[in-house]
């Protein structure tokens, strides 16, 4: 241990810890740290002459092609020896088996930090029952911070191509965190070596997710472009644009005027871009894509776990949280694993705390619903206000202006409630008193995801499934608190509102997250450097030791990788749950993630203190959450296609009521007359007093209007049952329910079939593992035999051989 005063603040003292070889070796054996002991011998299967000939032809053809631009230059990367060697748990008795070129570099810095942290967590610092471990010293304020050091500066005056990298941090900055490397693969082995397996797995998952977004983004863009190319041939949008003689009923009370259906021509065309014949195919594709993504991630994780020696790694028995010990120190029972007495929480106490926590979660979800209710009231009130606005642009587009402002207000509410939810989730998790840190982390993760998922998607659910569904009809509108008339969909449909909601929220949230992730640490570090410059000048700043520079960086988030995972999981939900309504969502996610990878890399390498290297076998509870989102996406996309879009009504019209009825055709020629068939007739004199518009519609024909049209399947006013549902309404409803059932069962069958057909462990990896196990046994036997033979020769030289020795 060395103590050294800070150069910038005399009240701060740095305690530098050094671990000599003897300590590292002893605790590496205790912790079962796997180290390299023999170079890998790759076993090649025997191939037929025909296959060899084909491979030679392929390699000759590849020689004409340009080199793969996304691969990193192997010359700039260090030789990561442990990836090309067989590894075994370190043992001091068998130290001669391991490849040790230099004892100072045999254990890399991440492993050394992990060993030192293991020691510090078990050191008794004071007399007393629970006076053990570094975490308690950090909790009670004895130490302000504890962190491993970065390996020098991430910048260099010399080029990495001519002089090489000065250290691994510099190499990571040039080959990973640099914005010019956005199209390159990530050096995951180097990330793992510098930051540890847990952070390495996060970036491996993020890179895999980003790579899997390429086909989804391509198909989504294709669906959008298909809508663009078929726009001029769409019979429905043509009829809407040519319907100058169809007058629609007002969409709000009093101030909203009558309008021609042709006025919504632009919105009908925009709707076709997202709601066209390829939408159903894309919904099925994305549901299958989510399953393929998760199944292939399991295979990718297995390969990473094998390469990083995580297959046989088991998490150590975790220490009990100090808060749990302080609360339940009076009641103890024997731990079945360690055999030592430990604090015990009674079952009744645990149940009561869980009930209170669940009640808190339910209350906060009710707060979200109340916020959505407030947005609904805002939309209902504002549409009338905008309809009477002075500016013609807003007055003529009152519904779009209402939706746009409502989405922006909704985004602000989402961001404000997120701050509140974090504090509530922290309070409820601490109230539950989890026993260990992993239990606390899982409980907190589940609450935060639930809160933020409901907060982010509740208004989207309202627009997708409730907007315009329960409004009644002209003359008998359903009202909120018997006062406000519920909002109707635009004459061109509700899908345009859902597209605006998703597009604006997705762009704003991703922009805000990226700013907070990088902008906030950058501003804080700039402010710290500015204060140091003012106090000590520019000459002193360059001479600061590494521990002083790292102390002035920002610490990693208190919740570790939680914020990074949460952001991506919520984005995955946005990309899959309502993707049928917004096919460009995967493309936006892909563009964001390409930036996100480099942004996170830049933040870890340059803006944050070096986090403690920790191990993990997978992404933890997040995988279960991803599976849940995948299941939910099938249900929501089925409802979006069946309920929100006009796919089913068009299909029913084409096969049952259109010109091609009974002929088994459904082309554009079969959609002639669809718009007129989807609109019902209303007698203007049947308006309620509070709904009657201020204008009488004389501007259209020179005389007051007698009839107007509205979107619904209802009988005309002079029928025996005025405004009753028509037979077509029941046909459409039955078709929608049938589509939901068939779609869900079909997609779930495909998902389960894919899960069954794709094994979790690749066959070549299984063979490699078996062969490695066999070779390790052979090598250990050969090495032991070689050692015994050497000892026997030495004894013979010294004349100490025994007659009863085995031959």
> What are the tokens at 176?
């990973």
Q: Is 129 helix (H, G, I), strand (E, B) or coil?
A: coil
What mean pLDDT do residues 499-520 have? 80
What mean pLDDT do residues 148-167 have? 81
Contact criterion met (CB below 8 Å) for 291 and 751 = yes
What pLDDT is stored for residue 806 in this prediction? 45
Residue 484 in this model has a pLDDT that exceeds 70: yes
Taking the C-alpha atoms of residue 556 and residue 569, their distance in angstroms, rounded to an integer, is: 20
Question: Residue 453, class by beta-carbon neighbours within 10 Å (0-12 exposed, 13-18 middle, 19+ buried)?
Answer: buried
Using CA atoms, how far residue 630 sits from 145, 583, 593, 636, in Å, is: 40, 16, 19, 10
Taking the C-alpha atoms of residue 341 and residue 338, their distance in angstroms, rounded to an integer, is: 9
Contact criterion met (CB below 8 Å) for 477 and 483 = no
Using a pLDDT cut of 70, give the percent of the chain over it.
88
pLDDT tens-place string over residues 632-665: 989 998 888 888 888 889 889 888 888 887 777 7
Contact criterion met (CB below 8 Å) for 496 and 480 = no
Taking the C-alpha atoms of residue 680 and residue 717, their distance in angstroms, rounded to an integer, is: 9
Contact criterion met (CB below 8 Å) for 380 and 483 = no
Residue 281 in this model has a pLDDT that exceeds 60: yes
pLDDT tens-place string over residues 585-640: 899 999 999 988 998 999 899 888 899 888 888 888 899 999 999 899 899 988 88
Taking the C-alpha atoms of residue 414 and residue 457, their distance in angstroms, rounded to an integer, is: 10
Residue 79 in this model has a pLDDT that exceeds 70: no
Residue 65 in this model has a pLDDT that exceeds 50: no
pLDDT tens-place string over residues 761-799: 888 888 877 877 777 777 777 777 877 888 888 888 776
pLDDT tens-place string over residues 88-136: 788 887 777 777 878 888 888 888 898 898 888 888 877 776 677 788 8
Contact criterion met (CB below 8 Å) for 239 and 259 = no
Using CA atoms, how far residue 579 sits from 296, 446, 451, 462, 469, in Å, is: 21, 24, 21, 16, 21
Tell me the pLDDT band of 204, cut-offs 50, 70 and 90: very high
What pLDDT is stored for residue 274 in this prediction? 83
Which residues share a beta bridge with 163?
Answer: none
What pLDDT is stored for residue 537 in this prediction? 63
Q: Tell me the range of 316-325, 425-434, 727-736, 757-766 where mean pLDDT is highest.
A: 727-736
Alpha helices by DSSP H, listed for 230-346, are: 235-242, 265-274, 279-307, 322-327
What residue ranges in 328-397 does DSSP mark as E strands?
332-334, 341-343
What pLDDT is stored for residue 47 in this prediction? 47
Contact criterion met (CB below 8 Å) for 475 and 682 = yes
Maximal C-alpha separation, the chain: 128
Q: Which of 148-152, 217-221, 424-428, 528-532 has the lowest mean pLDDT?
A: 528-532
What mean pLDDT do residues 332-337 have? 69
Q: Of 150, 297, 135, which Cα lies nearest the Cα of 209?
A: 297
What mean pLDDT do residues 445-459 have? 86
273 CB-near residues (< 8 Å, 6+ apart):
224, 227, 228, 231
pLDDT tens-place string over residues 698-722: 877 778 888 888 888 999 888 888 8
What mean pLDDT do residues 142-154 have? 88
Alpha helices by DSSP H, listed for 583-620, are: 585-602
Taking the C-alpha atoms of residue 19 and residue 123, their distance in angstroms, rounded to an integer, is: 15
Q: What is the mean pLDDT of the chain?
A: 81
Residue 203 in this model has a pLDDT that exceeds 80: yes
What residue ranges in 365-498 does DSSP mark as E strands?
472-473, 476-477, 479-480, 484-485
Q: What is the dihedral of CA 613, 618, 623, 624, to 10 degrees?
A: -110
Taking the C-alpha atoms of residue 529 and residue 534, their distance in angstroms, rounded to an integer, is: 9
pLDDT tens-place string over residues 50-59: 555 666 666 6
What pLDDT is stored for residue 60 in this prediction? 60
Going by their DSSP bridges, the two strands 259-260 and 247-248 should be labelled as antiparallel
Going by their DSSP bridges, the two strands 484-485 and 479-480 should be labelled as antiparallel
Sign of CA dihedral 644, 645, 650, 656: negative
pLDDT tens-place string over residues 179-192: 888 888 888 888 98
Higher pLDDT, 414 or 216: 216
What mean pLDDT do residues 723-739 have? 92
Number of alpha carbons in the 13 Å side-chain half-sphere of residue 336: 0
HEC per residue, 642-698: HHHCCHHHHHHHHHHHCCCCCCCCCCHHHHCCHHHHCEEEEEHHHCCCCCCCCCCCH
pLDDT tens-place string over residues 533-576: 776 665 455 578 888 888 888 888 777 788 889 889 989 988 88
Q: Is 260 helix (H, G, I), strand (E, B) or coil?
A: strand
Contact criterion met (CB below 8 Å) for 584 and 220 = yes
Residue 804 in this model has a pLDDT that exceeds 60: no
pLDDT tens-place string over residues 409-434: 888 888 888 888 888 888 888 888 88
pLDDT tens-place string over residues 490-506: 777 777 878 888 888 88
Q: What is the pTM of this model?
A: 0.84
Count other Cβ atoms within 10 Å, centred on residue 88. Answer: 19
What residue ranges in 23-128 does DSSP mark as E strands?
34-39, 85-89
574 CB-near residues (< 8 Å, 6+ apart):
456, 457, 502, 505, 506, 585, 589
Rg (CA), the chain: 34
> What are the tokens at 410?
């909704």
pLDDT tens-place string over residues 661-698: 777 777 778 888 888 888 999 888 888 888 788 787 78
Using a pLDDT cut of 90, give the percent of the chain over it.
10
């Amino acid at each position: 241990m060395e103590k050294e005063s800070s150069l910038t603040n005399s009240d701060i003292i740095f305690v530098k810890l050094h671990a000599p070889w003897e300590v590292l070796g002893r605790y590496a054996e205790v912790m079962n740290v796997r180290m390299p002991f023999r170079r890998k011998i790759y076993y090649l299967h025997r191939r037929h002459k025909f296959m060899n000939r084909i491979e030679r032809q392929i390699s000759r053809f590849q020689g004409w092609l340009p080199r793969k631009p996304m691969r990193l230059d192997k010359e700039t990367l260090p030789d990561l020896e442990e990836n090309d060697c067989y590894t075994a748990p370190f043992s001091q008795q068998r130290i001669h088996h391991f490849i040790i070129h230099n004892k100072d570099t045999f254990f890399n810095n991440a492993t050394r930090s992990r060993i030192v942290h293991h020691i510090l967590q078990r050191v008794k610092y004071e007399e007393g029952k629970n006076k053990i471990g570094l975490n308690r010293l950090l909790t009670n304020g004895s130490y302000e911070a504890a962190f491993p050091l970065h390996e020098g500066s991430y910048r260099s005056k010399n080029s990495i191509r001519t002089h090489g990298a000065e250290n691994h941090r510099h190499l990571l900055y040039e080959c990973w965190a640099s914005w010019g490397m956005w199209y390159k693969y990530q050096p995951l082995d180097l990330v793992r070596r510098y930051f540890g397996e847990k952070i390495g797995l996060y970036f491996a998952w993020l890179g895999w997710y980003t790579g899997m977004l390429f086909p989804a983004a391509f198909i989504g863009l294709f669906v959008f472009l298909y809508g663009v190319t078929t726009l001029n041939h769409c019979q429905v949008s043509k009829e809407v644009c040519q319907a100058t003689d169809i007058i629609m009923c007002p969409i709000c009370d009093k101030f909203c005027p009558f309008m021609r259906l042709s006025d919504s021509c632009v919105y009908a065309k925009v709707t076709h871009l997202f709601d066209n014949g390829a939408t159903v195919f894309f919904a099925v594709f994305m549901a299958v894509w989510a399953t393929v993504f998760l199944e292939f991630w399991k295979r990718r994780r297995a390969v990473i776990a094998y390469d990083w020696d995580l297959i046989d790694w088991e998490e150590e028995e975790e220490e009990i949280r100090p808060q749990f010990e302080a609360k339940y120190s009076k009641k103890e029972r024997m731990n079945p694993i360690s055999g030592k007495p430990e604090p015990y929480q009674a079952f009744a106490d645990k149940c009561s705390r869980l009930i209170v926590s669940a009640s808190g979660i339910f209350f906060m979800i009710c707060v979200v619903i109340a916020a959505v209710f407030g947005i609904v009231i805002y939309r209902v009130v504002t549409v009338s206000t905008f309809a009477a606005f002075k500016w013609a642009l807003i007055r003529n587009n009152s519904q779009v202006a209402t939706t746009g402002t409502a989405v922006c207000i909704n985004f602000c509410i989402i961001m404000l409630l997120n701050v509140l939810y974090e504090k509530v989730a922290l309070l409820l998790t601490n109230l539950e008193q989890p026993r260990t840190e992993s239990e606390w982390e899982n409980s907190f993760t589940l609450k935060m995801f639930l809160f933020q998922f409901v907060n982010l998607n509740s208004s989207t659910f309202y627009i997708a499934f409730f907007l315009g569904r329960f409004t009644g009809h002209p003359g008998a509108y359903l009202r909120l608190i018997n006062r406000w008339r519920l909002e109707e969909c635009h004459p061109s449909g509700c899908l345009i509102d859902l597209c605006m909601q998703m597009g604006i929220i997705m762009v704003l949230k991703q922009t805000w997250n990226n700013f907070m992730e990088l902008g906030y640490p950058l501003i804080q570090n700039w402010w710290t450097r500015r204060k140091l410059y003012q106090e000590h000048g520019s000459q002193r700043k360059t001479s600061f030791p590494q521990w002083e520079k790292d102390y002035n960086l920002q610490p990693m988030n208190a919740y570790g990788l939680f914020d990074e995972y949460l952001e991506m999981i919520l984005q995955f939900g946005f990309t899959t749950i309502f993707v049928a309504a917004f096919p460009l969502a995967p493309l936006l996610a892909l563009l964001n993630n390409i930036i996100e990878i480099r942004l996170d890399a830049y933040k870890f390498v340059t803006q944050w203190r070096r986090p403690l290297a920790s191990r993990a076998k997978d992404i933890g509870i997040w995988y279960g959450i991803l599976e849940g989102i995948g299941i939910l996406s099938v249900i929501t996309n089925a409802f979006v296609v069946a309920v929100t879009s006009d796919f089913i009504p068009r299909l029913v019209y084409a096969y049952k009521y259109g010109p091609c009825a009974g002929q088994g055709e459904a082309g554009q020629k079969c959609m002639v007359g669809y718009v007129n068939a989807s609109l019902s007739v209303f007698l203007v004199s049947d308006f309620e007093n509070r709904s009657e518009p201020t204008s009488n519609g004389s501007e259209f024909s020179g005389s007051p209007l007698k009839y107007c049209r509205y979107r619904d399947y209802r009988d005309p006013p002079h029928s025996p049952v005025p405004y009753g549902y028509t037979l077509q309404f029941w046909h459409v409803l039955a078709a929608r329910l049938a589509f939901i059932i068939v779609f869900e069962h079909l997609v779930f069958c495909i998902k389960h079939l894919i899960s069954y057909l794709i094994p979790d462990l690749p066959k070549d990896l299984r063979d490699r593992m078996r062969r490695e196990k066999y070779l390790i046994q052979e090598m250990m036997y050969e090495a032991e035999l070689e050692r015994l033979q050497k000892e026997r020769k030495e004894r013979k030289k010294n004349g100490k051989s025994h007659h009863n020795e085995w031959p």
